[in-house]
Structure formats: structure tokens, C-alpha cells
Structure 1
Amino acid sequence: MELDYIENVNGFDENVVRLYNFDKTEAVKFRNLIKETIIQKKQKLDLAEIDFIEARNCNLIFGLFKSDEGILTKDNETFFCILTLDGFTNMLKLIEPYCNKDTRSYQYLYDIDNPTELLFCPSATKYDE
């Protein structure tokens, strides 16, 4: 599984943080990390510390908050995905199909009016500008 950031992905000042290039096994590991670390233990999850995730040009830290804010950053290198417990529970539901079978489809992991989306995309490849 790889992690990267693509700025102005579509010419409308919209950005994407992607988790991509993974199989069913890694999707299961990722789902379990969210479930155990964030939902059960209520702790933040720093993807830079996860051995099966290769951070290419950014880092992503998941954390609980009182409202769903989505992805925020100050420097376009360290990103914070800030959601409520319900937001992360919904994220687990969106990840679940990738845990059941290998697929080429993709999924945005939240639906918030925010300039940066979180894309879960098993079949994507490196983005070269």
C-alpha cells in the first residue's frame, strides 16, 4: 500500500490524498488498524509508523474530533484526517468491500465539502506530473 498527495488533481484546486496499489490482504490490515486504534482505543493513527504503507511525498495522521472536518494540512506534507467516531465507522463500511475480494474500483472515504479528498484505490499507479 502506498500513500501520496496530488495537488490540483483536476484543475479546480481540488486535491487528493491517496492510499493506493494494494490488495485484499493489505485492505484487511488497514481496516483492522482503523478499527483497533481509532474506534476501540480512541488513539490517533500515524500512517508513517505502519510497516506495510509506503509514504511517497506526504504523511497522513487519522484522529478523532467533535465534528467531521476531513483532511487538513498546513504544509502539504503532513495531513490530518479529522473525523468523528461515526465518520470513522462509516469509513470502515466503505473499506469493507476491498477486504472481501480484490477489485479495481475506487472509493472516496468520506463525503465532506473539503478541497482535499481521501481516495482508496487498489489499482492506481504512481502519479507523475
Structure 2
Amino acid sequence: MKLEYLDDITDGGRYPDADPDKLIRLYDFDCTEVRQLQEAIRLQVISHNHPLMLSSLPFITAVNCQLTLILASTNEGISVASDNNDFKGLFTMASFEEMLAVMEPFTNESRNNYGYNWLYDPADRQIDLLLSPAGGW
């Protein structure tokens, strides 16, 4: 599984209707890795209320960024922590549980070869989080 930040989906304005314009994507994975990610979120974030740096998981390779998932009392979404490569995702318990449900179809071997899903609704926030085996949307 790869973790990558795409900071200008519009390609400098060439595709002005591109939505979202910024995203972090998890891609190039199999169903076993999705199950492992679900379990890490359940155990570390939901059960023990510990931040989870995704690239610390042995099956995730950080391409150009870090993302740490943190249990919070309000959904703040994903924001840049210190520079353009270090991100924090602050979500409520309900949002993490919804993420796990959204991941579920990708734990099925027959589903894992196509499709994508957004792991949360960013509303007015700037950065989306995408789960996509092939990396597209």
C-alpha cells in the first residue's frame, strides 16, 4: 500500500473543474493490506486512543508524505502539521467507524481490482482522503 499527497489536481489550472484539488491517496494495495489497516485503526486509534502514523505500518510505503490519524472530539479533517509533507487527520469515533465501513468492500478479493472510495467527507476542508487500488478516481 502506498501513501501519497497530490497537491494540485488541477495541474496548474489546466483542469479547473478537478475536484478535489488536493488529496491524500492510499493505493496499490490488496485486500489483506486493507484488513490490516482496518485492524490498526480499530486497535490503536479507536480502542487505545493512540495516534497512528500510517507510514509506521510495515505494509505502507510513504511516497511523499506522512499522515497521522488521531481520535478527536470534533471532525477537523486533514490538515498540514508542520510542512507540506506532514499531515494530521483528526476525526471522531463515529468518523473512524464510518471509514472502517467504507473500507470493507476492499477486503473482498473480487472487489479489490477496481473502484475507489472517499474515506471521509471533507465538507469545506481542503484535503480529501482516497482509498483506490489503482490510484484513480
The answer to whether TM tops 0.5 is yes
- Asked if 1:42 is matched to 2:49, the reply is yes
The 4+ residue runs of structure 1 with deviation greater than 4 A are none
Query: 1:122 — aligned with what?
Result: 133
Residues 68, 112 of structure 1: 8 Å contact kept: no
Count of residue pairs the alignment pairs up: 125
Q: Which runs of 5+ in 2 are unaligned?
A: none
- 2:90 is the counterpart of 1:68: no
Deviation at 1:9, TM superposition (A): 1.1
Task: Name the counterpart of 1:80.
Answer: 88
* Aligned-residue CA RMSD (Å): 1.5
- The answer to whether structure 1 residue 57 and structure 2 residue 64 are counterparts is yes
Determine the C-alpha separation between the residues in 2 that align with 1:32 and 1:103: 21
Q: 1:112 aligns with which of 122, 125, 130?
A: 122
Paired AA for residue 30 in structure 1: L
Which of 1 and 2 has greater Rg? 2
Deviation at 1:112, TM superposition (A): 2.1
- Structure 2 CA distance, aligned partners of 1:104 and 1:79? 27
Report percent identity of matched pairs: 34
State TM-score, norm by structure 1.
0.90
Is the CA contact (8 Å cut-off) linking 2:25 and 2:135 kept in structure 1? no
Q: Is the 8 A contact 1:109 1:119 kept in 2?
A: yes
Distance in 2 between the 1:103 and 1:111 partners? Answer: 23
Q: How does 1:88-99 map to 2 (within 5 A)?
A: 88-99=96-107
TM-score for the superposition, normalised by structure 2: 0.85
Runs of at least 5 residues in structure 1 that lack an aligned partner in the other structure: none
How many Å separate the matches in 1 of 2:48 and 2:9?
A: 34
